[in-house]
């Protein structure tokens, strides 16, 4: 399978599956675009949502950045983030108004051109008809989409998502409206990621331990942590009255997750801790 990443990013290690190496080094970045974010008029919930979904699939988010609706700022952010990450998520700037410039900038950046997409236009027509809203020139222009990019249908809105690929880098542009972005992530983006990179995987087991301080619990579990296999880790998430323990395994460590979760539970039982498994 063509991974979509440059060969230079893969290590040549004798006897090691290169797909597993790829899983360990895949990094993502998130770029949110909009003056309203930087002015504090809205809260950027999109970055948190995207990062959480990526983390659950074993993809590390190495950077988040917000920029205004300005061409130079967006281009500089694209240069910097794509130099660091293999996969870039971009939200915002896909609407019909004059300040929504993301689509044109991405087309230029990825050496693409806008063409009229009939399928997207029919979707916009149907959506506006259902809302009893008139079609105008700005709505029609939302059917102008990059020729070479993969179009991600947005069943909840008029701004389609776009998936660009160049020189081993992937950039996914999504609308900034949270419920539209979330729909696209769940229905279009994550299924594509899992199909294209089936080696990307992560799973975890959670324990909630009551009436114990984080430091005391960590001391009791130190020996358990020290014996965990590579690519498996234990996180402590303290709250008043309890501590959540999250045992996470990535890729090659996944087969050992249940065994290690059993060991962790035995440690909790031997120390007479009160706990539940949510």
Stretch 135-157: mean pLDDT: 95
From the options 1.20.1050.140, 3.40.980.10, 3.40.718.10, 3.50.50.60, give the CATH code of 7-196: 3.40.980.10
Model confidence at 18, pLDDT cuts 50, 70, 90, reads: very low
For the beta sheet containing 202-210, the strands, ordered from the edge strand earlier in sequence to the opposite edge, are 232-239, 242-250, 202-210, 274-276
Domain layout of the chain by residue ranges:
7-196, 202-276
> Which is higher by pLDDT, 180 or 15?
180
Buried b (16+ CB within 10 A) or exposed e, 170-182: bbbbbbbbeebbb
Question: Over 60: is that where the pLDDT of 3 sits?
Answer: no
210: Cα separation from own chain's centroid: 32
Window from 3-12, 39-48, 135-144, 213-222 with minimum mean pLDDT: 3-12
Q: What are the counts of helices (DSSP H) followed by strands (DSSP E) for the chain? A: 12, 12
Mean of the per-residue pLDDT values of the chain: 88
97 compared with 87, residue with greater pLDDT: 87
Q: Is the pLDDT of residue 195 over 90?
A: no
Query: What DSSP line would sit under 7-62, residue for residue?
Result: GGGS---TT--HHHHHHHH-EEEEEEE-HHHHTTSS---HHHHHHHHHHHTT-EEE
> If we measure between CA atoms, which residue out of 131, 111, 122, 108 comes closest to residue 160?
122
pLDDT computed for residue 214 by the predictor? 96
Model confidence pLDDT, tens digit, residues 166-183: 888 999 999 999 999 999
- Does the pTM surpass 0.85? The reply is no
Q: Which CATH number fits domain 202-276: 1.10.1040.10, 3.30.56.10, 3.40.50.300, 3.30.70.2860?
A: 3.30.70.2860
**Would you say residue 15 has pLDDT above 50?**
no
Predicted confidence (pLDDT) per residue in 104-114, tens digit: 999 999 999 99
Can you tell me the mean pLDDT for 40-46?
Answer: 95
CA-nearest of 277, 268, 252 to 24 is: 252
pLDDT band for position 71 (cuts 50, 70, 90): very high
Question: Residue range 182-211: average pLDDT?
Answer: 87
- Mean local confidence (pLDDT), 150-158: 95
Given a cut of 60, whether residue 50 has pLDDT beyond it is yes
CB 89 within 8 A of CB 172: yes
The pLDDT assigned to 132 comes to 94
Residue 198 makes CB contacts below 8 A (sequence gap 6+) with: none
Which pLDDT value is given to residue 249?
Answer: 87
Distances (CA, A) of 188 to 106, 183, 200, 271, 272: 19, 8, 17, 46, 46
Note whether 51 and 87 are within 8 A (CB). no
Q: What pLDDT is attached to residue 25?
A: 52
């Amino acid at each position: 399978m063509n991974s979509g990443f440059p060969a230079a990013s893969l290590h040549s290690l004798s006897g090691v599956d290169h797909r597993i190496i790829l899983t360990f080094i895949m990094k993502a970045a998130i770029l949110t675009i909009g003056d309203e974010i930087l002015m504090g008029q809205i809260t950027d919930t999109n970055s948190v949502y995207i990062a959480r979904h990526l983390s659950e699939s074993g993809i590390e988010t190495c950077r988040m950045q917000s920029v205004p609706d300005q061409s130079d700022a967006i281009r500089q952010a694209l240069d910097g983030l794509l130099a660091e990450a293999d996969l870039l998520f971009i939200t915002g700037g896909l609407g019909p108004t004059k300040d929504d410039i993301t689509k044109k900038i991405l087309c230029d950046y990825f050496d693409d051109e806008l063409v009229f997409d009939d399928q997207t236009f029919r979707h916009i027509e149907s959506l506006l008809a259902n809302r009893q809203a008139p079609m105008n020139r700005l709505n029609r222009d939302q059917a102008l989409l990059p020729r070479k990019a993969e179009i991600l249908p947005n069943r909840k809105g008029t701004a389609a998502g776009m998936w660009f690929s160049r020189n081993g880098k992937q950039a996914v542009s999504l609308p900034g409206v949270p419920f539209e972005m979330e729909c696209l992530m769940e229905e279009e983006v994550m299924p594509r990621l899992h199909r294209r990179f089936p080696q990307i995987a992560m799973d975890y087991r959670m324990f909630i331990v009551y009436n114990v301080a984080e430091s005391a619990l960590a001391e009791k579990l130190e020996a358990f942590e020290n014996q965990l296999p590579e690519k498996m880790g234990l996180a402590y998430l303290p709250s008043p009255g309890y501590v959540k323990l999250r045992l996470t395994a990535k890729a090659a460590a996944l087969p050992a997750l249940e065994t290690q979760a059993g060991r962790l539970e035995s440690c909790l039982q031997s120390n007479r801790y009160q706990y539940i498994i949510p």
